Amino acid sequence: MKDKVLMKGTDALAEAAIQAGCRCYFGYPITPQNELPEYMARRMAEVGGVFLQGESEIASINMVLGAAASGVRAMTSSSSPGISLKQEGISFLAAMELPALIVNIMRGGPGLGKIAPNQGDYYQATRGGGHGDYRTPVFAPASIQELYDITMYAFDVADIYRTPVMILGDGMMGQIVEPTICRKRQKIDLPPKDYILDGARKRPSRIIRSLILDTLEMEEHNWKLKRKYDLMRGKLPQHEEFMMADAKLIIVAYGTAARIAKGAVKRARREGLAVGLLRPITLWPFPTQAIQEIAKKVKHFLVFEMSTGQMIDDVLLALGGKAECEFYGRPGGVVPTPMEITRIVGRYWVQKEILG
Amino acid sequence: MKKVFTKPKCLKDIPFHYCPGCGHSIIHRLVAEVIDELKISDCVIGIPPAGCAVLAYNYFDIDMCEAPHGRGCAVATGFKRAQPDKIIFTYQGDGDMAAIGTAETLHAANRGERITAVFVNNAVYGMTGGQMAPTTMIEQKTTTSPFGRRSEVEGYPLLITDLIATLKGPAYVARHSLATPAKILATKKSIKKAFEVQIKGLGFSLVEVLSPCPTNWKLSAVDAYKFLESKMEKEFPIGVLKDVTKRK
Ligand SMILES: Cc1ncc(C[n+]2csc(CCOP(=O)(O)OP(=O)(O)O)c2C)c(N)n1
């Protein structure tokens, strides 16, 4: 255990990025993620990487584009309003098939909202976010160790599929401190970066573009991206199951909400209710198949989100009417206690006459 | 027999799509000649804009990366920071550089980013059909200023190059015109200087080129060149605005 260190979420994410070989960070300050660029400002200097505070989120994501097209692992981070500004750039990254990591430490919204933890950006993250027919893999870690590990993995996913990847957290994930093992990078076989622009020396010149004026060629590009997304749908989904073996009611929650829900499951169990937790780790692609498997035997689901209800759409799509599904949400930056969720579970249990 | 006039090596053998009399073709050629003369075609990366020159990557036989409209200087910053040994240039229109991309342009200049911006000022939004640009002149008619630009309503033409010249980060800032062959030669000399300044690592360099758009100005090519000299050069005086190599 001696290689465990106490790490704050933002620092763990930044350090994992450095360990993963990220050498370009561009970002614009916004709470609650400022400790991440601040960490990067120090660390990049130590490892000979690039830290640059852009003049806006728009500038920052476009700097990421230039660095990614140079073949360097590059990232940016922000919080909700800033992520909205980055969407055009993310769409370009997807179109140009450039790898990059975008971190959204969500805050309450819409508008300027509030800096407290919130999960209101689920739709934006999982539905493409920007314009055009594209998807971005989205990871929602729920512990600092997982945040660390997923950050490293996210860079590999970005390189393997040549795609922007998003990590979706909230103020809570950014701020909490937990023992973390700072693993070193496991080298895996990655596809060669034969697309990068580094001067046409001893090879034909290359272009990176998203403008495709020929309709059929544009259509084919869309189908090509679709095939890639289908590949990801098959390979990437991840979820955690907690106390699900004998569960009659399953809570579905991600990120900070899942941490609260886990507490609620433990409490409910003490009261004799057979409750379990399914925690999606990837929000896109969504662990649809896992939910469908479980729905073969469990008939009651409760989706809990720190929003008015967004992920519930994906759960309902997965269930396809094969099980009952209720929703409980606390938007606006409210972080409910496990006890509150246990109460909701208890009420649901009685209403639906689930027999223990 | 010695050939005295050939196509620059770093231009592909593809006819330009530009309208007759458009300045983009000339400026492409000037940039290509400079790249050839400096022998940097194997270490240069170009960033074309969203604008009439969006397809520049089809003509230049060098590495090129499209940028979202206005973000050329930010994309160029990403390239340069990731690969400081490469020569990075943007090629941008006036809408791209001085309206939607004002922030990216000014801040890259102010950081003294070691990149070169070739800024083509044709006083209109060419690609989208001749709307008013930040550089449209007072009383100039465009499709979105049909009564002529009025200062009380649309404000004044923005001289972003002059603005940039006031900053400490830029090393070389100049404005030129394509109005006559002599001026075209001066433009080329200046573009070459701007690249040399980058190669020496002195800071941000920018060359604005006043360029005709006969189609959207609704003038013949000949009249467009007259307009360029009589009207545009009055509003946008040509000359070198800043050159750190000239300081003691
Ligand atoms: C975000 C965004 N807004 C608007 C456009 C549409 N658009 C493309 S080029 C352009 C302006 C072109 O004018 P300019 O930059 O002066 O270059 P020119 O075409 O005259 O060479 C506009 C508004 C776009 N591509 N992206």
User: Which residue CA neighbors atom 9 of ligand 1 most closely?
Assistant: B51
Find the helix packing angle between A9-19 and A144-161, rounded to 10°.
Answer: 40
Count of structural domains within chain B: 1
Residues A66, B60: C-beta atoms closer than 8 Å = no
Ligand 1 in reach of B112 Cβ (< 6 A): no
Which one of B102, B120, B127 would you pick to mutate in the ligand 1 pocket, going by the greatest count of ligand atoms within 8 A of its CB? Answer: B127
Instruction: List chain A residues with CB under 8 Å of B38.
Output: none
Supply the pLDDT for residue B101. Answer: 98
In a domain, B197, yes or no: yes
Quote the percentage of chain A above a pLDDT of 90: 95
Supply the pLDDT for residue A58. Answer: 98
Q: What is the CATH number of the domain that holds B219?
A: 3.40.50.970
Supply the pLDDT for residue B4. Answer: 83
Ligand 1 in reach of B133 Cβ (< 6 A): yes
* Alpha-carbon gap, residue A305 to A284, rounded angstroms: 16
Q: Is A290 helix (H, G, I), strand (E, B) or coil?
A: helix
Q: Where are the CATH 3.40.50.970 domain residues in chain A?
A: 4-235
Q: Is B53 on the interface with A (CB under 8 A)?
A: no
**Residue range A328-354, pLDDT digits in tens:** 999 999 999 999 999 999 999 999 887
Phi, psi of A187 (to 5 degrees): -75, 125
Encoded amino acid at A205, one letter: S
Nearest atom of ligand 1 to the alpha carbon of B125: 13
Ligand 1 in reach of B93 Cβ (< 6 A): yes
Looking at the predicted structure, is the pLDDT value of residue A323 above 60? yes
Supply the pLDDT for residue A353. Answer: 81
**Residue range A240-274, pLDDT digits in tens:** 999 999 999 999 999 999 999 999 999 999 999 99
Nearest atom of ligand 1 to the alpha carbon of B24: 21
- From chain B residues 28-47, the ones with a CB under 8 A of any chain A CB are 41-45, 47
- Six token digits for residue A13: 């994410």
Domain carrying residue B156: 23-246
Q: Best residue in B11, B65, B69, B88 to probe A by mutation, most A CBs within 10 Å?
A: B65
Q: Where are the CATH 3.40.50.920 domain residues in chain A?
A: 239-351
Whether the upstream peptide bond of residue A110 has omega within 30° of 0, thus cis, is yes
Residues A66, B44: C-beta atoms closer than 8 Å = no
Whether the upstream peptide bond of residue B212 has omega within 30° of 0, thus cis, is no
**Residue range A29-55, pLDDT digits in tens:** 999 999 999 999 999 999 999 999 999
* Alpha-carbon gap, residue B173 to B176, rounded angstroms: 10
Residue pair B107/A55 in contact by the 8 Å Cβ criterion: yes
Whether the upstream peptide bond of residue B68 has omega within 30° of 0, thus cis, is no
For ligand 1, the distance from its centroid to the CA atom of residue B125, given in whole angstroms, is 6
Please provide the CATH number assigned to the domain covering A239-351.
Answer: 3.40.50.920
What average pLDDT does this structure show over A5-33? Answer: 97
In a domain, B74, yes or no: yes
Q: Which of A257, A242, A112 is nearest to A170 (CA)?
A: A257
Instruction: List chain B residues with CB under 8 Å of A208.
Output: 64-66
Nearest CA in chain A to B104: A59
Residue with tokens 């260190």, as numbered in its chain: A5
Tens-digit pLDDT string for chain B (248 aa):
788 888 999 999 999 999 999 999 999 999 999 999 999 999 999 999 999 999 999 999 999 999 999 999 999 999 999 999 999 999 999 999 999 999 999 999 999 999 999 999 999 999 999 999 999 999 999 999 999 999 999 999 999 999 999 999 999 999 999 999 999 999 999 999 999 999 999 999 999 999 999 999 999 999 999 999 999 999 999 999 999 999 75
* Alpha-carbon gap, residue B58 to B18, rounded angstroms: 12
Q: Which residues pair with B142 in a beta bridge?
A: B145
- From chain B residues 95-124, the ones with a CB under 8 A of any chain A CB are 103-104, 107
* Alpha-carbon gap, residue B200 to B198, rounded angstroms: 5
Ligand 1 in reach of B128 Cβ (< 6 A): yes
Q: What is the CATH superfamily name and number for domain A4-235?
A: Thiamin diphosphate (ThDP)-binding fold, Pyr/PP domains (3.40.50.970)
Encoded amino acid at B49, one letter: P
**Residue range B16-60, pLDDT digits in tens:** 999 999 999 999 999 999 999 999 999 999 999 999 999 999 999
Ligand 1 in reach of B122 Cβ (< 6 A): yes
- How is residue B232 annotated by DSSP? I
